[in-house]
Chain A
Amino acid sequence: MKKVTFREYCLVLQNIRETRSTNSKITALSECLSKFKNNDELFLAAQFIGEGAFEEISGKKASVGSRTSGLAAASFCNIDYDRVFKPCRTATGSSSETIERLMENIPEAINQREPQELLLTDVRDIFEQLFQAGTRAGKEAILWETWKKMTPVEIKFFIRMLGQGSLRIGFETRSVVASIAEAFGKIREEVRYTHMITGSLGQTAILAKENRLNEARFQLFHPLSFMLASPIESRSIENLEEYVAEEKFDGMRAQVHVDGETIKIFSRDLNDVTHSFPDIVDFFKAREMPPTVFDGEICVYKNDTILSFQMLQKRMGIKKPGRKILQLYPVLYICYDLVFARGEPIFDFSLEKRRNLLEQITAQYNLPVTNQMSIENPDDLEFLFQRALDHGNEGLMLKLKNSPYEYGQRRKSWLKVKKPGGSLDTVIMYAHAGSGKRGGTYSDFTLGISVKDDERYEEEFIPIGKAYGGYTDEELKMMNRKIKELTVERYGPTLGLLPKLVVEIEFDDIQLNNRTKAGYTLRLPRFRSIRWDLGPADVNTLKDVEELYTQKLMNQPKQQSENSSIIF
């Protein structure tokens, strides 16, 4: 039988993109998967759609950014990158879609391409070459050679697989899992479990095809997707007594795999960050533990106090921190969940059972663990929430007592209760063209605060931050209509606006930042509402921002000695 080519595979992806019903999408992929007789190819068919060019657990990246592929495509099509490619990308909001259409339309590009019947394994080899290639020129040469052999739709998906993002076909990992189940007549839940343990869609597909799903073993030192929490707006929860509360730390989520002398730390995006935290490695090494996997948070911890995320940021990017950094910003790993212990994965245990084990282990080996608190009524919640803020923490996590560890999912079993850092009325100064699903609209906004009566500045308004979310589709449309009227300048994808449109934003935190005009940056600014009722005279001033910052400093985190958020 004829083998399924990469082109046919890409046409299935495009078809999934153009199908709206999730069930039809799943059927389309499952029909495709069942056509692959060769295991290598089946492996890749499941991996490419769900994980991209490289297996997630491999941690590999090709490091081909949108600039590299854009420059290569512009030269392939013999067009000017700045004068032609960039405006096209602004119009579509997608570099890969732009490249697909230029390849389709431009005569020079059409003449250069002689599409061949590439197999998925051929494409895998090209991804590997790109991973090995050191220089941008080397990568561009490989891209150029590859595109010669491809049709435009192949080129588009090839580029999207190389990027770390999704293929943008409206298809989640769990739908890939469902397709594998459908293709080989297996129960979805069993396939899901195998995928959870292996962390590999390719391997899962092969095990499903060969009726070996039960052979999957959780592998220590292969990261497991994290269980995620949903935010809640109000604090009125119906079945409150079914939850327990823990304080929510303003740190970095991490999974620690331990087996005696061997320690690995994985970040929330499943990257290996072990080398950045030698102090945590030493901490666990000293405890000589049997194979165990923890879920928890890395926080800067000094003088019995959990310090802010800003302190942690000082060392997050550093691959091999020196002694000075380690002394200035000592970290602590606070455990709050357990996914592997006593020789077996325990994600299917209820939270209560996992917690029970966790408490035994943390007591035995003297590890920091969150303090878990029961809640009976909304008053308890209010009290605990306030106390968490006093500790300098972000708020509370509420966890459903009988829930399993729902890896890689964001459901209502974990809820996060956070207090916004504050809000400001700002004016839109610049609008930026959006990308992805917001392509073709102006969806990102530079927001200004007033310095009209401020002697330190010449301007009327200066930027305080950039927000790109928090509005509804309808509001975005209304803003885009208004923006058209207010535009006075145009710099490529950016419009300069008359300062008239006022929006109320909220943010998580204010930080000092000398590199900005205002001297401050906001953390996670987002829209709360568009204030059609306000004008530029109502906008908050830089003085107001300084005031908010001072207030925040007064709110120093309290020591942990009483009612502490952790047990250590």
Chain B
Amino acid sequence: MKIQKTGYHGLYFPDLRISMDGYHPAAEAVFVSHAHADHMPRNRQANIMATQPTLDFMTRRGFTGKGSALPFYKVFETDYCSVTLYPAGHILGSAMIFVESDSGTLLYTGDYRIPPSPATEGFGAPKQADILITEATFALPIYKWKSQDELAEEISNFALNSLNDGYTPIFLGYNLGKGQELLHILAPLGHPMMIHGAGFKLCDVYENYGIDLGNYTVYNRDTCEGKILVAPSSAIGNGFASNLSKTRIAYCSGWAANESRRTQLTVDKLIPISDHLDFFELIRFCKQMNPHQVYITHTPNPAVVEYYLEKEGINSTYLNLEPEAEE
């Protein structure tokens, strides 16, 4: 099967005339796995196929082109192949793209998380895929996540202890996905919460799909004291809640597993809650798909994954989707 790079981080399959997460002029359809910026095509001409939540997010994030919604598990036929979306558990609307054609089956994972984030439609996968194109963001055995229950408890305790001690808790997490998952985890506390504007404008999409985000409003500098605050980590350097003298900050990301982040960001707590699956789940999932060939993308350490898959008797190779160095 021929695979070409296209767009910012995307793939084009010339035999199938489709592309994924990137525009290609010859593609009949562009399948978008989810609405994070590095996966979203920017070209208005693209004929987008994605889940309804992904289309909603894309519109809110400034995409003005056309798109058609494709429900999970529903087979979509093109002239050359049939395509099915499976819930990826990464953020709301995130999908893995499964393609069946004369050349066999192919699964493109986009970004995914097993077990899935509680603020998503869950996780589902086909039984088998001949070709597996998988992300491997956390591709080292130092990355193994705690259970969702442990993490949720850590998050709630951090909020409660900070409030009890007279501090305003601030959770740092990405605007789309992590921010809403944090609200969802903290919702049972019933305490008023505020989320940074960029994340706020995406919240009602979550609520439209039945995800409870609790008692939240948009961040307001003048009234944020004593609330539970949620913001992207870039907000901290830009004056977010800088009028408060007593704050405690928790950085919520898979990268929080690394101690060095503590001093690099000057935060009080590192909570390693990730939108991606960990190394051990990754290897397990690759085995489960029983593929002939694995392509590894989105990773700083492809060689380590290749090495582990080789030990399992699985062929794999790195597919570099990083933009080329400028010349």
What total of chain A residues lie within 8 Å of the partner, measured CB to CB? 35
The B-contacting residues of A in range 398-448, CB under 8 angstroms, are 436-441
Closest B residue to A156 by beta carbon equals B259
A91 lies within 8 A of B140 (CB): yes
User: Nearest-CB distance from B111 to chain A (Å)?
Assistant: 19
B264 lies within 8 A of A498 (CB): no
Closest B residue to A20 by beta carbon equals B268
A98 to B255, CA, bound (A): 14
Contact A439-B144, Cβ < 8 Å, known A83-B307, A105-B280, A488-B325:
no
B259 lies within 8 A of A439 (CB): yes
A105 lies within 8 A of B307 (CB): no
Option from B264, B268, B279 in Cβ contact (under 8 Å) with A441? B264
The A-contacting residues of B in range 121-148, CB under 8 angstroms, are 140-144
B303 lies within 8 A of A87 (CB): yes
B141 lies within 8 A of A92 (CB): no
What total of chain B residues lie within 8 Å of the partner, measured CB to CB? 28
A60 to B255, CA, bound (A): 37
A91 lies within 8 A of B301 (CB): yes
Q: Does A102 touch B at the CB level, under 8 Å?
A: yes
0/1 interface trace, chain B 249-265, chain A, CB 8 Å (1 if under): 00000010111111110
A411 to B327, CA, bound (A): 48
B303 lies within 8 A of A91 (CB): no
Option from B141, B268, B303 in Cβ contact (under 8 Å) with A105? B141
By CB atoms of chain B within 10 A, which of A91, A97, A105 has the most? Answer: A91
Chain B residues lying within 8 Å of A83, measured Cβ to Cβ, are: 303-304, 307
Contact A80-B255, Cβ < 8 Å, known A436-B260, A437-B264, A473-B264:
no
Q: Does A94 touch B at the CB level, under 8 Å?
A: yes
A-B contact count (CB 8 A): 80
A106 to B308, CA, bound (A): 13
A168 to B262, CA, bound (A): 12
Chain B residues lying within 8 Å of A17, measured Cβ to Cβ, are: 259
A80 to B325, CA, bound (A): 31
Q: Does A305 touch B at the CB level, under 8 Å?
A: no
A80 to B308, CA, bound (A): 10
B325 lies within 8 A of A102 (CB): no
Q: Does A28 touch B at the CB level, under 8 Å?
A: no
Chain B residues lying within 8 Å of A487, measured Cβ to Cβ, are: 325
Q: Does B79 touch A at the CB level, under 8 Å?
A: no
Q: Does A88 touch B at the CB level, under 8 Å?
A: yes
Q: Does B269 touch A at the CB level, under 8 Å?
A: yes
Q: Does B25 touch A at the CB level, under 8 Å?
A: no
Q: Does A40 touch B at the CB level, under 8 Å?
A: no
Chain A residues lying within 8 Å of B261, measured Cβ to Cβ, are: 440
Option from A18, A105, A168, A437 in Cβ contact (under 8 Å) with B142? A105
A498 to B327, CA, bound (A): 8
Q: Does B222 touch A at the CB level, under 8 Å?
A: no
Chain A residues lying within 8 Å of B268, measured Cβ to Cβ, are: 18, 20
User: Nearest-CB distance from A139 to chain B (Å)?
Assistant: 24
A440 to B301, CA, bound (A): 13
A485 lies within 8 A of B263 (CB): no
The B-contacting residues of A in range 67-87, CB under 8 angstroms, are 79-80, 83-84, 87
User: Nearest-CB distance from A421 to chain B (Å)?
Assistant: 31
Chain A residues lying within 8 Å of B322, measured Cβ to Cβ, are: 484
Residues on B facing A (Cβ under 8 Å) = 140-144, 255, 257-264, 268-269, 279-280, 300-301, 303-304, 307, 322-323, 325-327
List 8 A-B residue pairs with CB atoms under 8 Å apart, sorted by A's residue number.
Answer: A88-B140, A91-B258, A93-B260, A97-B258, A436-B260, A438-B260, A485-B326, A486-B325
Identify the 4 closest CB pairs spanning chains A and B, nearest first.
A439-B260, A105-B144, A101-B142, A437-B263
A92-B142, A93-B260 given; name 9 further pairs at CB < 8 Å: A17-B259, A84-B304, A88-B140, A97-B259, A105-B143, A105-B280, A438-B264, A441-B264, A498-B327
